[in-house]
């Protein structure tokens, strides 16, 4: 067996006549980034099950478990920096500077609470850089593994929210944070509550199933890469999760996935037949499910919630303007009324509200993300963070779109959920922050060129396989 350097290996590979007389086997090598990858998986799993720990397993530790992912994020960023795996790009540089300066201005001109300032700055200094650590450490195979795990998990998660939907708030499955017997559901419609699944709050349900829908649609586009039975089960679970969650946000996320899928199909006409067939099956499945007693109740509840909320907020256009464009434009218009350095980083978070006002249920600055950023740090620093997020999202979306013409749908489908989440997601809320970090990191990783892999070429001689050369592909 002969070994060559990379340039020679490439030449050997190009010159080989890999016919039926040759066989190829991947050479298993130790992954130098295995520890970092395990840390990222720990971050992801805690994101999914942190609420379960706080409600059912360790309710006495509910408060410290709120920030259980923060040490992992800090450790991953520091270890990646030590190994020269943290890219020194404009995004990270600007955000880190804003975070550091934000602490100083919060203490000098704002709320003056060091704990609140650090809690707010950790979003920018620990979690945001983690996006690029994930993008640098993970490869395409890791992104697929996360997706397969999520699709598998969609089925039991759908069963869980069905149990929560039909159970009273006093039931164990509906316990709130710290084991609160009053329940962890949020007001929905017709006497039913929005189920939080394994999360601390109901927004986790919408974010998880939205995240899962991106992968479910992707695997339908590439069905050979996923177990078909599991994929069908996860698809049915997603369909049922929409009414069971009583969440308009989840519906909008699934519609975004459908839109991105249609755009991808328009760039690849050969897939139109498959998508039409899938649409027919989807309509039939919805029709059959809607006739069952199990599904009829949540569908009626969701319809009632959707109708009443739209009437209150001025119809579909009112919902769009108020929830999306209104929050963005309003934050900029109202910035003139805010102090130049803001009220202090961290003040707009729930923890900041608790430490300053003694009530985590009130918004001391703004419910909207852009309003919070400008309110906390002022027009210059707050707007700098907004611009960074917008530019980052535009670059991710454009790079992902270019891959579609090459039949690479993975980054594009994750973008269907990630674009708005990263640009305007509520990073003051830990679950929303965690999903946005994971989404951003996975998109960056999916866009990165795959790691070069070492293969062993064996020549078949006299019925025996004898090693001949190694090459990198």
pLDDT band at residue 260, thresholds of 50, 70 and 90? very high
Q: Does the structure show a pLDDT above 70 at 450?
A: no
E-only strand ranges, 270-427: none
Closest CA to 466 of 452, 451, 454, 456: 456
pLDDT band at residue 224, thresholds of 50, 70 and 90? confident
Judged by DSSP in three states, 465 sits in strand
Strand (E) or helix (H) holding 468: strand 464-472
Question: How many Cα atoms are found within 13 Å in the side-chain-facing hemisphere of 125?
Answer: 17
Handedness of CA 455, 456, 459, 463 (dihedral sign): negative
Q: Strand order of the sheet with strand 22-26?
A: 22-26, 454-461, 464-472
What percentage of the chain carries pLDDT values higher than 70? 80
pLDDT band at residue 459, thresholds of 50, 70 and 90? low
- The predicted pLDDT at position 464 comes to 53
* CB 47, CB 69: distance < 8 Å: yes
* CB 106, CB 120: distance < 8 Å: yes
166 CB-near residues (< 8 Å, 6+ apart): none
- The predicted pLDDT at position 452 comes to 60
pTM of the model: 0.88
Q: Does the structure show a pLDDT above 90 at 100?
A: yes
91 CB-near residues (< 8 Å, 6+ apart): 128, 132, 388, 391, 392
pLDDT band at residue 4, thresholds of 50, 70 and 90? very low
> What is d(CA 423, CA 440) in angstroms, rounded to the nearest whole number?
10
| 454 beta partners | 472
Closest CA to 103 of 381, 337, 433, 428: 381
> What is d(CA 137, CA 225) in angstroms, rounded to the nearest whole number?
22
Backbone φ, ψ for residue 468 (5° rounding): -115, -60
Average pLDDT over residues 140-168: 95
């Amino acid at each position: 067996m002969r070994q060559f350097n990379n340039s020679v290996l490439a030449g050997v590979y190009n010159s080989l006549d890999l016919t039926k007389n040759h066989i190829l086997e991947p050479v298993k090598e130790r992954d130098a980034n295995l520890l970092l990858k395990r840390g990222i998986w720990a971050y992801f799993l805690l994101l999914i099950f942190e609420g379960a720990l706080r409600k059912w397993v360790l309710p006495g530790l509910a408060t410290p478990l709120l920030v259980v992912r923060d040490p992992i994020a800090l450790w991953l960023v520091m270890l990646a920096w030590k190994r020269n795996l943290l890219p020194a790009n404009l995004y990270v540089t600007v955000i880190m500077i804003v975070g550091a300066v934000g602490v100083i201005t919060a203490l000098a001109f704002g709320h003056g609470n060091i704990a609140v300032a650090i809690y707010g700055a950790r979003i920018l200094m620990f979690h945001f850089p983690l996006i690029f650590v994930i993008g640098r450490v993970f490869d395409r195979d890791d992104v697929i593994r996360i997706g397969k795990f999520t699709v598998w998990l969609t089925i039991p998660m759908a069963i869980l929210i069905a149990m929560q939907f039909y159970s009273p708030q006093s039931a164990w499955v509906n316990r709130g944070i710290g084991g609160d017997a009053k329940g962890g559901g949020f007001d929905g419609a017709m006497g039913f509550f929005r189920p939080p699944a394994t999360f601390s709050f109901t927004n986790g349900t919408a974010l998880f199933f939205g995240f899962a829908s991106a992968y479910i649609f992707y695997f339908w586009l590439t069905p050979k890469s996923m177990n078909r039975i599991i994929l069908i089960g996860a698809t049915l679970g997603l369909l049922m999760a929409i009414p069971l969650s009583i969440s308009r946000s989840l519906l909008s996320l699934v519609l975004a996935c459908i839109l991105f899928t249609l755009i991808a199909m328009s760039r690849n006409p050969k897939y139109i037949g498959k998508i039409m067939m899938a649409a027919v099956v989807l309509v039939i499945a919805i029709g059959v499910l809607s006739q069952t007693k199990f599904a009829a109740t949540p569908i009626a509840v969701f319809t009632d919630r959707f109708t009443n909320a739209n009437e209150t907020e001025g119809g579909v256009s009112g919902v769009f303007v108020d929830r999306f464009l209104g929050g963005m434009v309003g934050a900029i218009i109202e910035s003139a009324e805010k102090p130049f350095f803001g009220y202090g980083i961290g003040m707009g978070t729930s923890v900041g509200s608790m430490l300053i006002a003694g009530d985590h249920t009130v918004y001391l600055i703004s419910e909207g993300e852009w309003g919070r950023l400008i309110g906390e740090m002022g027009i210059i620093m707050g707007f700098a963070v907004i611009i960074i997020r917008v530019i980052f999202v535009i670059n991710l979306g454009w790079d992902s779109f270019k891959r579609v013409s090459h039949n690479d749908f993975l980054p594009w489908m994750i973008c269907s959920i990630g674009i708005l989440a990263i640009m305007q997601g509520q990073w003051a809320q830990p679950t929303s922050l965690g999903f946005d970090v994971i989404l951003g990191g996975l998109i960056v990783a999916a866009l990165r060129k795959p790691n070069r892999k070492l293969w062993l070429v064996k020549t078949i001689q006299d019925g025996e396989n004898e090693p001949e050369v190694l090459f990198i592909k």
